[in-house]
Chain A
C-alpha cells in the first residue's frame, strides 16, 4: 500500500514512537554485522536507519522490521545506544495502526497449531498483527 507521508513526518513519527534519535547513527554497520537475519533482509538494520535519515518513506515497505525478532544483539552493540529493535517496532506499528496485518494465519497447519507453544503465537500476533 502507499503511505502518504513526507520524509520529515516519517522520521518524527519513528522517533516519537521509538524514543530514539535516528540522527545519532554514524553508519558503522555493527548492527548489520551482528544481525542473525541480515542475509534474509532487503535492507538490514544499518540501511534501514540510513533510509530514515534520508527520509525515504519506502522503508515502510521493507521486510527488515518484520524479520527483526527483537533479539537485541544490535541494540547491545550499538556504540551510540540506539535501540534499533524499537525503531523496527515503530515501523511495524505505523503499518499496524493503519489496520494492516503482516501475516495471514489461516494457513498454519492444524498439527503445528497443536505443537507450537502459546508464547510463539502471542509473540507473533503482537509483533506482526494489529
Chain B
C-alpha cells in the first residue's frame, strides 16, 4: 500500500528521528509513505477566526499536492500538522463559499475539490494494518518495558479532529501492547504540555512537564511514548529546566511511538535514540533491548 505522506517542517529538523523511524516502521508493515512534492508549512496552529481565510491557504495548498497525484488521503505523523491539515480540510469541505474564495485566490493551482482525507499514521496502523499483524511483525517484544502513552491535545481535540475516543483513547495503548510493552495508565495523557509557550514562557511549560511526568513516574511508568515534536521538546528537553526548578524531580526518557516500533521490529538503522535530552538507551540496554556499545 502506497500513501501520500506529509512530513512537515519539524520532521526534517529536530524531529528527524520521528520521520526516519515512522517511515521505516510503516515500510516494515507493507505501507510505503511517499513524501508529497513541493509541500509547504501547514501553519502549525489552525486559525480559529472566521474571517481569517488567508491562514487556511497553506494547509489547503498541501491538500492540492495530494489531489494532483490522485491521492485520496494524506498521512501525517506530527500531531500539530495532523490537526491543522485535518481541520483546514474539513472547513473547506463544509463551507463551499470559503473554498471558492480560496480557489480564486490560488489562481496558479488547480482548484481544490475538498475531497482529500487527512489521517494520522496511528489510524492506518489500527484500521488497516491491525494490531494482530503488528504483533506478528515484532522480532523483539518489549517485554517488561513500562511505557506510558501521552497523546497531548492535537490527536484528540476538538471532536472533529479526534483519531480515537477523545475521553478514553486506546489506540496508542493497543499499539504498545502489540509491541509487547507493558502499558502504564496515568491521568495526564491528554493534558496540554504548554505547546508553543515554550518560546515565550519556558517556566509555564516546565510546570506542565513536571505535573505530567511526575504523575507518570508515580504510576510506575519508566518511559513516555508520544506523537508530536513539540510535546517531545516540552516533555524531554524541558526536563533540564524542570530539574532546576523542582530538585526532587526524577528524569524519564521520552520517545516517539515509532521509535519503539522500530526497536521491536529490529530496524536498527531507524531507531534514532541518539537525539534525546534524556537518553533512552541506558534503560533499553538495561532491559536487554539494545546492545551496550563500548566506546
- Which residues of A are in contact with B by a Cβ distance under 8 Å? 16-19, 36-37, 40, 67, 69-73, 75-76, 83, 85-86, 88-90, 93, 103, 105, 108, 112, 115-124, 126-128
The answer to whether B192 touches A17, judged by C-beta atoms less than 8 angstroms apart, is no
Of A18, A69, A115, the contact of B195 (CB 8 Å cutoff): A69
The answer to whether B192 touches A123, judged by C-beta atoms less than 8 angstroms apart, is no
* CB within 8 Å for A85 and B48 given contacts A36-B208, A73-B153: yes
The answer to whether B10 touches A119, judged by C-beta atoms less than 8 angstroms apart, is yes
- Which residues of B are in contact with A by a Cβ distance under 8 Å? 8-10, 13-15, 41, 43-45, 47-52, 55, 78, 80-81, 153, 157-159, 166, 190-192, 194-200, 202, 204, 208, 229-230, 232-233, 237
The answer to whether A71 touches B14, judged by C-beta atoms less than 8 angstroms apart, is no
The answer to whether B192 touches A117, judged by C-beta atoms less than 8 angstroms apart, is no
CB proximity of A129 to chain B, nearest CB, Å: 10
Of A17, A67, A76, A108, the contact of B157 (CB 8 Å cutoff): A76
CB proximity of B91 to chain A, nearest CB, Å: 11
Residues in A with CB closer than 8 Å to B232 are 117
Query: Please, how many angstroms separate the alpha-carbon atoms of A67 and B81 in the complex?
Result: 21
* CB within 8 Å for A118 and B51 given contacts A69-B196, A70-B45: no
The answer to whether B196 touches A118, judged by C-beta atoms less than 8 angstroms apart, is no
Query: Please, how many angstroms separate the alpha-carbon atoms of A127 and B198 in the complex?
Result: 13
* CB within 8 Å for A117 and B43 given contacts A75-B157, A83-B48, A89-B48: no
The answer to whether A37 touches B204, judged by C-beta atoms less than 8 angstroms apart, is yes
CB proximity of A60 to chain B, nearest CB, Å: 15
Residues in A with CB closer than 8 Å to B166 are 76
CB proximity of A122 to chain B, nearest CB, Å: 4
Residues in B with CB closer than 8 Å to A90 are 48-49
The answer to whether B50 touches A19, judged by C-beta atoms less than 8 angstroms apart, is yes
* CB within 8 Å for A115 and B158 given contacts A70-B48, A89-B49: no
The answer to whether B47 touches A126, judged by C-beta atoms less than 8 angstroms apart, is yes
Name the 9 nearest CB pairs between A and B, nearest first: A71-B192, A123-B196, A72-B157, A89-B48, A124-B196, A122-B44, A69-B195, A86-B48, A124-B199
Residues in B with CB closer than 8 Å to A67 are 197, 204
The answer to whether B157 touches A73, judged by C-beta atoms less than 8 angstroms apart, is yes
The answer to whether B229 touches A16, judged by C-beta atoms less than 8 angstroms apart, is no
Query: Please, how many angstroms separate the alpha-carbon atoms of A16 and B166 in the complex?
Result: 28
Query: Please, how many angstroms separate the alpha-carbon atoms of A55 and B90 in the complex?
Result: 33
* CB within 8 Å for A124 and B197 given contacts A17-B49, A93-B52: yes
Of B49, B192, B194, B202, the contact of A18 (CB 8 Å cutoff): B49
Residue in B closest to A89 when the chains form the complex, CB atoms: B48
Query: Please, how many angstroms separate the alpha-carbon atoms of A116 and B41 in the complex?
Result: 16
* CB within 8 Å for A76 and B159 given contacts A71-B192, A117-B15, A118-B9: yes
The answer to whether A124 touches B200, judged by C-beta atoms less than 8 angstroms apart, is yes
The answer to whether B191 touches A36, judged by C-beta atoms less than 8 angstroms apart, is yes
Residues in A with CB closer than 8 Å to B195 are 69-71, 120, 123
Residues in A with CB closer than 8 Å to B45 are 70, 122-123, 126-127
User: 18 A-B contacts, Cβ less than 8 Å apart?
Assistant: A18-B48, A19-B50, A37-B204, A69-B195, A72-B157, A73-B153, A75-B158, A76-B166, A89-B48, A117-B13, A118-B9, A118-B44, A119-B81, A119-B230, A120-B198, A122-B41, A127-B45, A128-B200
The answer to whether B48 touches A117, judged by C-beta atoms less than 8 angstroms apart, is no
Query: Please, how many angstroms separate the alpha-carbon atoms of A85 and B13 in the complex?
Result: 29
* CB within 8 Å for A117 and B51 given contacts A69-B195, A71-B192: no
The answer to whether B48 touches A69, judged by C-beta atoms less than 8 angstroms apart, is no
Query: Please, how many angstroms separate the alpha-carbon atoms of A88 and B45 in the complex?
Result: 14
Residue in B closest to A128 when the chains form the complex, CB atoms: B200
Residues in B with CB closer than 8 Å to A36 are 191-192, 208
